[in-house]
Structure 1
Amino acid sequence: MDAARLPGTSGPEQIVAHVDMDCFYAACEQRREPALRNEPLVVGMGYENGATHGAVATASYEARAYGVESAMAISEALERLPRKVEAVADPDLTVEDAGFYRPVDMDFYESVAADVREILHTEADVVREVSIDEAYLDVTERVSWKTVRSWAQDLKDTIESAVGVVASVGVAPTMSAAKVASDRDKPDGLVVVEPGAVREFFDDLPVEDVHGVGPVTARELAALDIETAGDLAAADPELLAEHFGERGREIRRYARGEDERSVTPKGDPKSLSRESAFTDATTDIEAKCRQVRTLADAVADRAERKGARYQTIGIKVVTPPFDVNTRARSLPGPVEEPELVRRIALDLLGEFADDPVRKVGVRVSNLDFSAGEQANLDGFGGDNGSEEASGSSRTSSTPAAADELDDDGQVGLGTFVANDGDTEAVEDTAGEGTDASETHISLPPGQTTLAEF
């Protein structure tokens, strides 16, 4: 007899697991320094020991109790949670209400993630690695719905005992439901949503829990009196399309438990990016520049670790109410120049120096993964200055980006565009497609290296 088919799916019923590591960066640091377990711990991007610059990449659950949040400036985090070493020396501070700070160490986190991935590939026939700390697994041929909970618990136990970090696992018949399920009972969660129960599972969840819906979209939906996943599932698809385009229909299908996607491995991404939202729209140019510098460094670092050179560098700026503006510049050839990423990103940001800004992002695209040498820029010089074009959109007609954080509150996994299988992405991101705002750079006469840019 043929396998049962779910409404809205094109293939036989599948069993999908979404594995999401809990506070992964912090968990890695706690594995390296066991004394940090159960302590308030902050991991910072662009942070150095003893310094006050940088931004929070992730915070342990103990640190979050003090109001420390991902993407927060380290200086603000320190106001809420002083460093333990300073609290010991300062009689005005309480040692019990202080924490530990560590800089991001991506090489170490990658090594730990590799150990986790090895386990995942052993336990599933098909694995889609979404980011350093999460993946989808198709285990349809490995387990049944009667045995999948036991399998998932064994997977969690294996990861914790063999690698020393904790994973939350969600299991469902669709990718979107599995992702929501993995976040439902964090930390150390295990939620199984069986066929026929997906719609009921979603009904009472806040609408922002639906895959593809972040804070910005949730606020727009609330203005339409859509506050729960059940409301979204019952909403008029034409109304959603009017406000959100085809993506409105898509998130409605997810809320109804309908998801035609199958788990497929990822190829090389077409772009890499990071983005970060401010708590409130800000006109503070120093805050905007600091955020862009941190994001630019993170993007360049990720490109280096992936062995990717880039030919286009761009930014995204979201201004009130929800206007999405993109700017980009293209180079004569693919390069690996971290300082250039920062300089171009800051230069492009200058256009928005006086504007209130909700969110900023940095992106590199037109990626080259070949092992050849970096492009020789001799002969690319020109006398003409580059003229910048611009692109902007409103969330009423374009899927608006919302949150730079993953479901575990860890910064750094977001990207500019919706996941098309070729671009590293998370939900509720703007699908800008090609860069209408690209401009091409001609190097000034006599300039032969991008380091001079």
Structure 2
Amino acid sequence: MPSLCRDCARPAEDDRSVCPHCGSGRMLSHPELFDLSIAHIDCDAFYASVEKRDNPGLRDLPVIVGHPGGRGVVTTACYVARKFGPRSAMPMFKALALCPDAVVIPPDMAKYKKVSAAIRALFAKATPLIEPVSLDEAYLDLSDGVRLIDRTPAVLLVRLARAIERDVGVNVSVGLSYNKSLAKLASDRDKPRGFAVIGRAEARHVLSELPVTAIHGIGKATARRMAEAGITRVEQLQSLPEAALVARFGKFGRALSHLVQGDDPRQIVADRPCKSVSTETTFSRDLSALPPLAKALEVLAFALEKRLKRAGLAGETVVLKLKTADFQSLSRQSRLSYPTQRADVLREHAMHLLEREADGRAFRLIGIGVDHLAPAESADPPDLFGARRFG
């Protein structure tokens, strides 16, 4: 079985537990190791890792990145903190109850973007086909004819992981497979500083042992519908014919029938365009009355207008986001007849949505955004409003 040292990046002819070249015990072995070319790279506890890099005194401490105070949520918890229970998106008060000794650091997005750009620059030395998912993760196509360096993808990925640790100062986990969904699944298997491989021969079996939520596209609502039908494991979906999945889940059922068998036709798309723009705020105390909610929405609408103008974009669907006092998230949409950047138009449509939801419930967060983006030139036709406004 082919093997590869994750420290010196040199291959071995057979399955070894210790590298014959450098003596490292970090060996990677897999029958298809040198035959796969689709990768997913995910930074480990990214924001917290950057903060620990910049302050070595935090290295062994539990660090939580997020806005301090009872109203915030955890953005990232380092692996030391995770041992006590804090997780991303957890309410801060709950995280601190689980880990009262945690060091809480407010997020510094400008710094994280610079670190992300440095990592992206290293990716670009290996391949031009990079599909960012967020600041801390991306898909890479390292196929023949695409990659820029004449090395096998597995060797390139080991070298990339080492270069990111050495030059940027954060750790990553790598997933290698033959499609995107399996590469993503692999990168989650061995964190932190992981490198996992899922090959063609084992994909169906690996998937069969997982909960349905491991499949790309199955969110909470779909998982609930499946659970109501007694379906909780991927192996149950694998046993259903495509026609049955289409009958149950509509158009998604056709894609689902392939995903559960290990087939994912999605290509890696470089520089994927932005799909939405939004802004939100968390209140210092829960709000239930319409007037203060409306005032907060008005402020956010003007902030969204500025963000759209800076980006040269407009949106054709207004999205209202609310989070209740018990952390239930709500999203409501209103489709416009034209794309807009205007705060007054955004506010008006979002207000109609808010009025339906402001029924006395207490809300801890409100947000406004736009989907179905279009170039700014197509926004707010003058024949509808008279002369265009210039900000």
CA RMSD, 1 decimal: 4.6
Match of 1:226 in 2: 231
2:186 paired with 1:181? yes
Aligned mate of 2:254, from 249, 253, 257: 249
In the alignment of these two chains, the number of paired residues is 338
Quickly say closer, same or farther: Cα 1:366–1:238, change in 2 above 3 A. Answer: closer
Aligned mate of 1:134, from 127, 133, 137: 137
TM alignment of 1:42-441, pairs within 5 A = 42-44=64-66, 47=67, 51-81=69-99, 97-141=100-144, 142=147, 147-272=152-277, 285=288, 300=304, 303=307, 307-312=311-316, 313-315=318-320, 326-328=332-334, 334-335=340-341, 348-354=353-359, 362-367=368-373, 380=385
After TM superposition, give the deviation of residue 177 of structure 1 in Å: 1.0
Match of 1:26 in 2: 48
3-state DSSP of counterpart to 2:124: helix
After TM superposition, give the deviation of residue 232 of structure 1 in Å: 1.8
Quickly say closer, same or farther: Cα 1:340–1:26, change in 2 above 3 A. Answer: farther
Match for 2:202: what amino acid? A
Q: Please give the alpha-carbon distance, in whole angstroms, between the structure 2 residues aligned to 1:214 and 1:156.
A: 30
After TM superposition, give the deviation of residue 15 of structure 1 in Å: 1.9
Higher relative contact order (CA closer than 8 Å, sequence separation 6+):
1
Contact 1:233 1:253 (8 Å CA) reproduced: no
Match for 1:200: what amino acid? H
Contact 1:19 1:168 (8 Å CA) reproduced: yes
TM alignment of 1:1-16, pairs within 5 A = 15-16=37-38
Match for 1:183: what amino acid? D
Structure 1 regions of 5+ residues with no counterpart? Answer: 1-12, 82-96, 277-282, 382-447
3-state DSSP of counterpart to 2:64: strand
Quickly say closer, same or farther: Cα 1:60–1:229, change in 2 above 3 A. Answer: same
3-state DSSP of counterpart to 1:120: helix
Match for 1:34: what amino acid? P
Quickly say closer, same or farther: Cα 1:336–1:121, change in 2 above 3 A. Answer: farther
Q: Please give the alpha-carbon distance, in whole angstroms, between the structure 1 residues aligned to 2:172 and 2:213.
A: 22
Quickly say closer, same or farther: Cα 1:349–1:166, change in 2 above 3 A. Answer: farther
After TM superposition, give the deviation of residue 118 of structure 1 in Å: 0.5
After TM superposition, give the deviation of residue 138 of structure 1 in Å: 0.8
Q: Please give the alpha-carbon distance, in whole angstroms, between the structure 2 residues aligned to 1:185 and 1:275.
A: 34
Identity %: 32
Q: Please give the alpha-carbon distance, in whole angstroms, between the structure 2 residues aligned to 1:107 and 1:72.
A: 23
Quickly say closer, same or farther: Cα 1:340–1:108, change in 2 above 3 A. Answer: farther
Q: Please give the alpha-carbon distance, in whole angstroms, between the structure 1 residues aligned to 2:86 and 2:236.
A: 32
Quickly say closer, same or farther: Cα 1:285–1:153, change in 2 above 3 A. Answer: farther
3-state DSSP of counterpart to 2:385: coil
Match for 2:216: what amino acid? H
Contact 1:172 1:181 (8 Å CA) reproduced: yes
Q: Please give the alpha-carbon distance, in whole angstroms, between the structure 2 residues aligned to 1:237 and 1:347.
A: 40
Larger Rg: 2
3-state DSSP of counterpart to 2:188: helix
Q: Please give the alpha-carbon distance, in whole angstroms, between the structure 1 residues aligned to 2:204 and 2:306.
A: 38
Quickly say closer, same or farther: Cα 1:80–1:200, change in 2 above 3 A. Answer: closer
Contact 1:315 1:361 (8 Å CA) reproduced: yes
Q: Please give the alpha-carbon distance, in whole angstroms, between the structure 1 residues aligned to 2:264 and 2:235.
A: 16
Structure 2 regions of 5+ residues with no counterpart? Answer: 1-34
After TM superposition, give the deviation of residue 253 of structure 1 in Å: 1.2
Contact 2:319 2:368 (8 Å CA) reproduced: yes
Contact 1:149 1:192 (8 Å CA) reproduced: no
Quickly say closer, same or farther: Cα 1:253–1:366, change in 2 above 3 A. Answer: closer
Match for 2:218: what amino acid? V
Contact 2:143 2:153 (8 Å CA) reproduced: no
Match for 1:30: what amino acid? K
After TM superposition, give the deviation of residue 210 of structure 1 in Å: 1.6
After TM superposition, give the deviation of residue 120 of structure 1 in Å: 0.8
Q: TM-score, normalised by structure 1?
A: 0.61
Q: Please give the alpha-carbon distance, in whole angstroms, between the structure 1 residues aligned to 2:115 and 2:329.
A: 39
Contact 1:327 1:348 (8 Å CA) reproduced: yes
Q: Deviations over 1:351-385 (max 9, x none)?
A: 22338899987432354566x8x98999938xxxx
After TM superposition, give the deviation of residue 316 of structure 1 in Å: 5.2
Q: Deviations over 1:129-165 (max 9, x none)?
A: 2222211111111499x94433322221111111111
